[in-house]
Amino acid sequence: MGQKIVVIGGVACGPKAAARLKRLDPSAEVIILEQGPFVSYGACGLPFFLGGVVKELQELINTPAGVPRDPHFFKAVKDIEVLTRTKAEAIDRDKKIVVARQLETGEILKLPYDSLVLATGSSPIRPPLEGIDLAGIYTLKTLEDGRALKEALANPDIRDVVVVGLGLIALECIEALFKAHKRITVVEKLHWPLPTILDEDVAFPLKEALEDRGIEIILGEGVKAFEGRDRVEKVITEGGREIPCQMVLLSIGVRPNVDLAREAGLEVGPLGIKVDRHLRTSDPHIYAGGDCVESRCLISGKPVYLPMGSVANKHGRVIGDNLAGMESVFEGVVATAVCRLFDLNIARTGLTEKRAREMGYDVVSTIVAGADRAHYIPGQNPLLIKLIADAASGRVLGAQMIGPGDVLPRVNTVAAVLRSYGTIEDLAAVEMAYAPPFAPAIDLLTTAAWATQNKIYRLVKSYKPYEVKAKIDRGEEVILLDVRTPKEVEAVKIPYPNVVYIPLGKLRALALEKLPRQKEIISFCKISLRGFEAARILASLGFPKVAYMEGGLAAWPFEKEFGL
């Protein structure tokens, strides 16, 4: 017989590593230990099960052909032994033995190995707050969690739900709660939605989407305690608010399961088990991957924690290759993510502007707005894109996208540029596919790259909406020049007295008469394509202080006045 491989963890990385190894080395003896009752299931589909998009929980277990991925499937199809409800309790590295316990019978197993794979995953964070163990406080990580939450949503006595945290999983679950006709309050300790994914100046459409549907959002305020007799009845915030509820969804992140590795004497960092490029731990006979390890950020070169199913599966393949002697490597991640809330698509890759500045980069960032396909094609949708780059080198650092428009091909394009350490020039040169039903002739991502080039080359000055609002609040003498058509202005406008309306087509003729030379002039339109053009016109006419507002009204999150 071939080498003996024990895999601890049976959801994503572990089964992938085992299956890859068996394809390359059929003689290997492989055993997977999973302490839960299910293996190789689509945990990322759980929010969609709650919302009814996935009709049955079994669909998250089945293969695309409808065959359950259970221990029988793994033995019959892949010649892999799977032991469910079996917990690995210790690793004897000297004797190369895993000590495990079958949870239903209590039987102790001693499993020898030539190589060991740790795919122990992560666990939801449950902070040690007063009342945290009350009934009715849920997390969402396993199929059992999904089933329990689905049953709770069907309970008519549960009317008020508090969601703690406003990250990716929380957003996807909020839509399911809304469909179940629950009254929802969201409590997020940081100051805007998706705070680790998006910058504040991109996240405002999320807040609007939630509030427009009657969902209350409490930002910048954490939870202090949960109150109730046997079941949760109230959430107490750090600001002293008391929020009545019959259910809480706790969604404040996950922690890597590293206790087994640490007790075995393996090197563990603050973000997870430490591994090399081959995903070997500090013991050359033990590999680790998935949510239990720290990865390397390809942008900064620093350790990063990225608990994503896509990354876990890639880890599994690399581990399987190496177990079979192929010397495969996993270089790192650029932290690409995508999600949806109602009609909004949200995507991010690379560093946020906030994080890039904290890391000391000479940051230049640009916001652009536009349509995801040709403007004359029915069904085109708006999209907001923010690009972040290093001004000194021109290197792309990250991107964020939000709107009803198509984000996936655009965020994947930036992710590919990030992985190749590309610059804004490289991104601008990417040959984006074009046909009117799919994209405009100049893709919005290309527009974002060009606008960033303009800033790096200092060809034009621009401000983001937050910066414009700060100028107004400080009482600076600035003129906001709205160059939209009269019909557009009638529909919606910024209600400030320092706004001057001159349609772009009349700007050359009226600028010298209508605009003061001594004041700074910031031009804008719906998306600021015309705003940019207006700034260039004013500069050519000799106005000394001109700029445009990035993203135009589409990116303006503050007061607006709507016509009839």
DSSP run (H or E) holding 204: helix 200-212
Q: How many residues does the chain have?
A: 564
Cβ–Cβ < 8 Å for 465, 549: yes
- List the strands of the sheet with 546-549, edge to edge: 462-463, 546-549, 520-524, 478-482, 499-501
How far CA 484 is from CA of 384, 468, 493, 535, in Å, comes to 19, 18, 10, 14
| Torsion sign, CA atoms 210, 216, 221, 223 | negative
* The pairing of beta strand 492-493 with beta strand 561-562: antiparallel
| Helix axes 529-540 and 507-514, enclosed angle (nearest 10) | 60
Written as six digits, the tokens of 490 are 């009638």
Residue 20 DSSP SS3: helix
Question: Can you point out the beta strands (E) in 240-324?
Answer: 242-244, 247-250, 254-256, 268-269, 272-273, 286-288, 295-296, 303-304
How far CA 355 is from CA of 299, 362, 371, 406, 555, in Å, comes to 12, 12, 28, 25, 21
Which residues have a Cβ under 8 Å from the Cβ of 18 and sit 6 or more positions away? 5, 7, 30, 32, 74, 78, 80, 117, 316, 320
Residue 38: DSSP 8-state? -
| Torsion sign, CA atoms 270, 169, 59, 314 | negative
Written as six digits, the tokens of 383 are 């999209």
Which listed residue (13, 44, 173, 297) is catalytic?
44
Written as six digits, the tokens of 427 are 């991104």
Which residues have a Cβ under 8 Å from the Cβ of 117 and sit 6 or more positions away? 5, 6, 7, 8, 9, 13, 14, 17, 18, 286, 287, 288, 289, 319, 323
- Torsion of the alpha carbons at 347, 349, 353 and 355, rounded to the nearest 10: 120
Distance from C-alpha of 113 to C-alpha of 103, rounded to nearest angstrom: 21
**Could you tell me what percentage of the chain is helix, strand and coil, using 3-state DSSP and rounding each to the nearest 5?**
30, 30, 40
Distance from C-alpha of 40 to C-alpha of 70, rounded to nearest angstrom: 8
Cβ–Cβ < 8 Å for 402, 353: no
Residue 548 φ/ψ, nearest 5 degrees: -125, 160
Which residues have a Cβ under 8 Å from the Cβ of 229 and sit 6 or more positions away? none
CA atoms within 13 A on the CB side of 360: 1
Distance from C-alpha of 121 to C-alpha of 119, rounded to nearest angstrom: 6
- Annotated active-site residue 44? The verdict is yes
Active site amino acids: 44
